[in-house]
Structure 1
Amino acid sequence: MIKAIIFDFDGTLANTLPICFVAFQDVFKEFDNKDLSSDEIRAMFGPSETGIIRENLENSNKENAIELYYEKYLEHHEQLVKPNSEINEMIAYLKEKDIKIGIVTGKARRSLDISLKALHMDNLFEIIITGDDVIHPKPHPEGVVKALSLLEVGKNDSMFIGDSDADIEAGLKANVMTAGVQWLPDYQPSEFSVKPNYIFESVTDLKKYLETAVQF
């Protein structure tokens, strides 16, 4: 029986990839005078935003670069990241069914808080684990394991849902059921290199699964 669902954030609960690209492009242009493509930025993904800047920026003034990233992230959020009614309805559905929900994301706490507040999604989740809260980012299972402990739910009663191979690998290493989602634009590979237990192409697919697999 599914008692808890843990979600990735970027590409799973919100279409935030465009704003990440813009903010990183502004930072690397300002501090390194580099015009980076979306693919070049995507190749850096793994650590939190602060980790990406500290590891990849050549300019030594990394703290100011980090501040610029958050400034641009906030500045462009309303324009580039829109609320998704299907995602909001799904969260309301899960809460109505008394399924605990949490987030495990590689995002830094600061940018996640900006997004949650802007999308009116703050205070919806029982637990939140960000890239600031772990030593080892996904695909390491540390974040998922921490989330299970805080939710006080067993591995067999939980599912981790994400849009990337790193998400699926982290869930599998944590020995929880995994689902790969392809329900938001800009993110999804045509197929997952690491095979999840389930693939949901729409929010409706998740609801159908829960209705057949879980007795409420």
Structure 2
Amino acid sequence: MKALLFDFDGTLLNTNDLIIQTFMHVLEERFPGQYSPKDCMDFIGPSLKETFEQIIPDELDEMIEKYRQWNLANHDTLVTEYEGAVDTLEKLHEKGIRLAIVSTKRRAMIEKGLELMGAKHLFELVVGLDDVKYVKPNPEPVLLAIEKLSVNKEEVMMIGDNYHDIIAGQKAGVKTAGVAWSIKGEQFLSQFNPDYILQHMSDLLTIVEES
């Protein structure tokens, strides 16, 4: 395995509380009492455009902007690092494994999160919402990362906390791994048949050695 492509939210940085609270803030203002935090869990993974098109397409741009403003203002106080994530990334980098982010998030917010983690220097490529026409589960972002890294598909793995990541990886023809710390649960991810389920980020060290 020569290259690892990581989803960001819920995979490398625990943004679950931030995302849920942001949706609750925006939706409670527009639809008082109609949404619960449990409802908002379903919005983790899809792009904002996809989510708000389903909820209120006539106010799509306005809702996305309100979401982004509150999310940015509260980002640093509501996110937390996953135990062992940065340490594992550093060890993978030392081994010469090429690391990239493939996310449905805007590049600026991905980089903000990476800087907060102290991990920005470990990634040679970020593919975000700004870089593609179609987001995961479409394979375009994964294929773009492969193209930019100039690696063979057989040497690449896509890692994420949602089915979007696994399906995008499968459609792109690469190995896939789900993370057991996904808010949606290991059992949920397993039904999409990833090649691996990571119990801890450090599992990747064994996988790259054996592959």
Specify the TM-score bucket, using the shorter chain as the normaliser.
Answer: 0.7 to 0.9
Q: Is this contact kept in 1: 2:179–2:198, CA < 8 A? A: yes
- Tell me which residue corresponds to 2:203: 205
Deviation at 1:46, TM superposition (A): 5.0
Q: When the two structures are aligned, how many residues end up with a matched partner?
A: 210
Report the residue type matching 2:185 in the other structure. Q
- Tell me which residue corresponds to 1:118: 116
Q: What do the CA deviations read for 1:157-196 (whole angstroms, capped 9, x no partner)? A: 11111122221111111111111121x3634242422101
Most deviating of 51-60 and 20-29:
51-60
- Tell me which residue corresponds to 2:187: 190
Distance 1:110 1:86, change over 3 A: same
Report the residue type matching 2:69 in the other structure. E
Distance in 1, Cα, partners of 2:71 & 2:117: 14
Distance in 1, Cα, partners of 2:114 & 2:57: 31
- Tell me which residue corresponds to 2:81: 83
- Tell me which residue corresponds to 1:130: 128
Q: What do the CA deviations read for 1:125-170 (whole angstroms, capped 9, x no partner)? A: 1111112322222111111000000111110111111122221111
Distance in 1, Cα, partners of 2:100 & 2:85: 14
Deviation at 1:198, TM superposition (A): 1.5
Deviation at 1:92, TM superposition (A): 0.4
Q: Is this contact kept in 2: 1:127–1:147, CA < 8 A? A: yes
Identity, % of aligned positions: 33
Q: Is this contact kept in 2: 1:141–1:171, CA < 8 A? A: yes
Q: Is this contact kept in 1: 2:45–2:162, CA < 8 A? A: no
Report the residue type matching 2:21 in the other structure. V
* Structure 2 runs not aligned, ≥5 long: none
Distance in 1, Cα, partners of 2:115 & 2:35: 29
Distance in 1, Cα, partners of 2:204 & 2:43: 30
TM-score in terms of structure 2 length: 0.87
SS in 1 for 2:177: strand
Q: Which has a greater percent of helix? A: 2
Most deviating of 187-196 and 19-28:
187-196
Distance in 2, Cα, partners of 1:146 & 1:59: 31
SS in 1 for 2:187: coil
SS in 1 for 2:19: helix
Report the residue type matching 1:115 in the other structure. G
Distance 1:113 1:168, change over 3 A: same
Residue 53 in structure 1 maps to residue 64 in structure 2: no
SS in 1 for 2:120: coil
Task: Within 5 Å, give how 1:96-107 maps onto structure 2.
Answer: 96-107=94-105
Distance in 2, Cα, partners of 1:176 & 1:163: 16
Report the residue type matching 1:21 in the other structure. I
Q: What do the CA deviations read for 1:65-120 (whole angstroms, capped 9, x no partner)? A: 33332232233323321233510011101110111100111123343233223323
SS in 1 for 2:10: coil
SS in 1 for 2:65: helix
Distance 1:34 1:132, change over 3 A: farther
After the TM superposition, list the runs of 4 or more consecutive aligned residues in structure 1 that deviate by more than 4 angstroms. none
Distance in 2, Cα, partners of 1:167 & 1:186: 14
Distance in 1, Cα, partners of 2:192 & 2:112: 31
* Structure 1 runs not aligned, ≥5 long: none
Across the aligned residues of Structure 1 and Structure 2, the Cα RMSD in angstroms comes to 2.3
Q: Is this contact kept in 1: 2:6–2:101, CA < 8 A? A: yes
